Amino acid sequence: MLTAEQNDFMTRVGPDVPAGKLLRRYWQPVALAEELDGPRPLKAVKLLGQDMVLFRDDNGELGLLDRDCPHRGADLAFGRLEHGGIRCAFHGWLFNVKGQCMETPAEPASSKFHTTIQQGAYPVVERSGVIFAYLGEGEPPAFPDMDCFVAPGTHTFAFKGLWECNWLQALEVGIDPAHASYLHRFFEDEDTSASYGKQFRGASSDSEMAITKVLREYGRPTINVEPTNYGMRMTSLRELSEEFTHVRVTNLVFPQAIVIPMSSEMTISQWHVPVDDTHCYWYAIFTSFTEPVNKEQMRAQRLELYELPGYTSRKNKSNHYGFDANEQMTETYTGMGHDINVHDQWAVESQGPIQDRTREHLAASDKCIYTYRRMLVKAIEATLAGEGKAPMLLSDEEAREVTGPASIDGIGPRNQEKNYWVEADLKRRQESDWASQRLSA
């Protein structure tokens, strides 16, 4: 249980509040690259409570500017993309991707006034189909060589979805290894051959046993959590027999990414990103360690639930998440269908816009949650004290050493030769401890 002040300290994300200051020290996903496809690559975005406009200029360069025009405050999301920047539709002021004002066309031709005008602008980069922004001060940290960033483009697929709640409770479902045995329980095992692109559907690796059966029948996992230099590593063990233990390892990459084994060939790297205090997007990069990803199929699967342009869920509070009492008695634990994204969405949204943690009762199986909260509070306090220290604020050199999930035993995708991804590294990985995560689904 927390006090209301402690809860605010960890959850609120504006520029002047504790957690908001910490999260601004890291790159944050701000859009999928696909959102800028089409003839007008411009999109209004909101991140950490800030309204901004994301665009590509004539040269394809990415820009992220504050959304209100510095002249009279009109909305730059309605701007014209032309002449190397974005031009406000009110009086034609033109801004480049760095936020410099290039023209104020209503001023006298000799005016140099525009040289004094600077719009708020933020660095943006694209990685594996996700556009990341840095809203903090000074130099951003380097990107780690995590598998999702160094895999070839053919082997990754990115998507996102909106959840109407605070980012921390969204993250806390991802670091809660106990819930999968209940929230995601199916009473019958499906045909595992139709499991491609879905979580908790295939067979557990090195085994014929469907993961749904493992979760259903072994509901009391032994959960271990180890703080690491990148965040923390969570292991849940389900002892199936004297001979076999099912191992599931999830990594938290500080501050708000989790790396989850999805199936015997893919992992998910997932960020829980605050839009504002009471909304968040999950952004996921799915990384295949075997065949190239079937992006069309994976996108179509997700578009069954999520609607563009907001990536909002068709199943939500207004339609009771599709709840069906009969299904709950006969097929699924929740009665909310077979898509586990809906289950997670219901679990976190029904806690309220910001979970009231003054009324919660954390149990022994919640140890990952309180371990994470301690880590978060420590990093926020260090930030407020003006100290540099917090996990994953990496220099270029340090970033090359963080090659998760393989970083656990130092075996990373170093070999850049053709096809390494499919052959050499896979073999090495299978011999490593890391394999137990990938294989255990």
Q: Is 199 helix (H, G, I), strand (E, B) or coil?
A: coil
Answer yes or no: are the C-beta atoms of 257 and 269 closer than 8 Å: yes
CA pair distance 174, 272, nearest whole angstrom:
9
Answer yes or no: are the C-beta atoms of 404 and 260 closer than 8 Å: no
The token pair that represents 235 in the structure block: 């292991």
Does 145 contact Fe ion by CB under 5 A? no
CA pair distance 420, 43, nearest whole angstrom:
37
Closer residue to Fe ion (CB): 22 or 260: 260
Binding mask 343-372 for Fe ion (x = CB under 5 A): -x----------------------------
Answer yes or no: are the C-beta atoms of 205 and 192 closer than 8 Å: no
| Partner in contact with 344, chosen from Fe ion, ligand FES, none, beta carbon below 5 to 8 Å by kind | Fe ion
Termini Cα distance of the chain:
32
Least distance to ligand FES from the beta carbon of 174, Å?
Answer: 41
Q: Which stretch binds ligand FES (CB under 6 A): 66-74, 225-233, 330-338, 386-394?
A: 66-74
Does 98 contact ligand FES by CB under 6 A? no
Query: What one-letter code names the amino acid at 137?
Result: E
DSSP conformation class of 131: E
> Rounded to 5, what percent of the chain is helix, strand, coil?
30, 25, 45
Show the CA angle centred on residue 126, arms to residues 61 and 163, nearest 5°. 120
| Partner in contact with 72, chosen from Fe ion, ligand FES, none, beta carbon below 5 to 8 Å by kind | ligand FES
Q: How far is CA 221 from CA 165, 189, 405, in A?
A: 28, 20, 22
Return the residue of 74, 117, 209, 399 that touches ligand FES, per CB under 6 A. Answer: 74
Return the residue of 78, 90, 218, 420 that touches ligand FES, per CB under 6 A. Answer: 90
| Partner in contact with 69, chosen from Fe ion, ligand FES, none, beta carbon below 5 to 8 Å by kind | ligand FES
Return the residue of 71, 80, 114, 367 that touches ligand FES, per CB under 6 A. Answer: 71
Least distance to ligand FES from the beta carbon of 131, Å?
Answer: 24
Binding mask 167-206 for Fe ion (x = CB under 5 A): ----------------------------------------
Residue ranges in contact with Fe ion by CB under 5 A: 344
Residue ranges in contact with ligand FES by CB under 6 A: 69, 71-72, 74, 88, 90-91, 93
